[in-house]
């Protein structure tokens, strides 16, 4: 374990999907399960997709989105596990291809090589999920050991409501052997 207080450290990577507004549920649930949490968000996600001040208050740490400058210390300890939720079409495809053009994707690209558990909860519309590149990305990432939650489109149901996004599923996936 990496954190001085003795708690394992969880990276929560947040992408720019509308459902990201609820990421506090995941952070709170992770803390209840004994994780120390640090959030890494994509640059687009930082632009109004969730309440960054509330998340920083919840975690007690600044959200990371850009690379530190070379002389700065590492803001977070190394991860004991990594969750990406919500995971967008864009980030899933870049991750599978190794296109580390944001700190968030670079963190995801590095995670399998660290040997820590990784869970991903995509939020991708059915029409996008049908793209062959996306299906190939899922297969490639699964082959790298990434544990995926059930498909979630975010599309409204016939009654106009949206199904629950099962945030805690990410934590359950980390616990699986
Ligand atoms: C309001 C809004 C909601 C969005 N929701 C989703 C979504 O649920 N899933 C998705 O893959 N992209 C969604 N997008 C598109 C992404 O924000 C866009 O592809 C972006 O480039 C993703 O960047 P990121 O993967 O670096 O976070 C949404 C865009 C907007 C404006």
- Mind listing the pLDDT tens digit of every residue in the chain (177 residues)? 545 568 999 999 999 999 999 999 999 999 999 999 999 999 999 999 999 999 999 999 999 999 999 999 889 999 999 999 999 999 999 999 999 999 999 999 999 999 999 999 999 999 999 999 999 999 999 999 999 999 999 888 888 888 899 999 999 999 986
Please tell me if the CB atom of residue 84 comes closer than 6 angstroms to any atom of ligand 1. Answer: no
Q: Residue 129 to residues 7, 59, 67, 150: CA-CA distances in angstroms?
A: 36, 32, 30, 12
Q: Assess if residue 85 is contained within a domain.
A: yes
Q: Which of 177, 175, 128, 174 is nearest to 151 (CA)?
A: 128
Q: Assess if residue 3 is contained within a domain.
A: no
Q: Assess if residue 125 is contained within a domain.
A: yes
Q: Please tell me the total count of domains within the chain.
A: 1
At 2 the pLDDT is 47
- For atom 17 of ligand 1, the residue with the nearest CA is 16
Q: Assess if residue 93 is contained within a domain.
A: yes
Q: Assess if residue 4 is contained within a domain.
A: no
Instruction: Tell me the CATH number at 72.
Output: 3.40.50.1950
CA of 125 to the centre of ligand 1 (A): 10
Domain residue limits at 150: 9-175
Q: Assess if residue 45 is contained within a domain.
A: yes
At 176 the pLDDT is 87
């Amino acid at each position: 374990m990496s954190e001085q207080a003795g708690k394992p450290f969880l990276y929560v990577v947040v992408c720019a999907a509308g459902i990201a507004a609820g990421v506090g549920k995941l952070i709170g649930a992770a803390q209840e399960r004994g994780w120390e949490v640090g959030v890494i968000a994509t640059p687009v996600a930082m632009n109004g997709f969730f309440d960054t001040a509330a998340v920083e208050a919840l975690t007690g740490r600044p959200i990371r989105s850009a690379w530190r400058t070379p002389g700065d210390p590492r803001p977070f300890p190394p991860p004991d596990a990594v969750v990406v939720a919500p995971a967008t079409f864009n980030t899933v495809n870049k991750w599978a291809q190794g296109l580390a053009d944001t700190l968030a994707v670079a963190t995801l690209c590095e995670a399998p090589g660290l040997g820590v558990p990784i869970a991903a909860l995509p939020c991708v519309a059915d029409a996008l999920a049908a793209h062959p590149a996306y299906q190939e990305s899922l297969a490639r990432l699964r082959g790298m050991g990434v544990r995926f939650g059930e498909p979630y489109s975010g599309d409204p149901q016939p009654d106009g409501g949206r199904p629950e996004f099962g945030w805690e599923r990410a934590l359950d996936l980390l616990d699986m052997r």
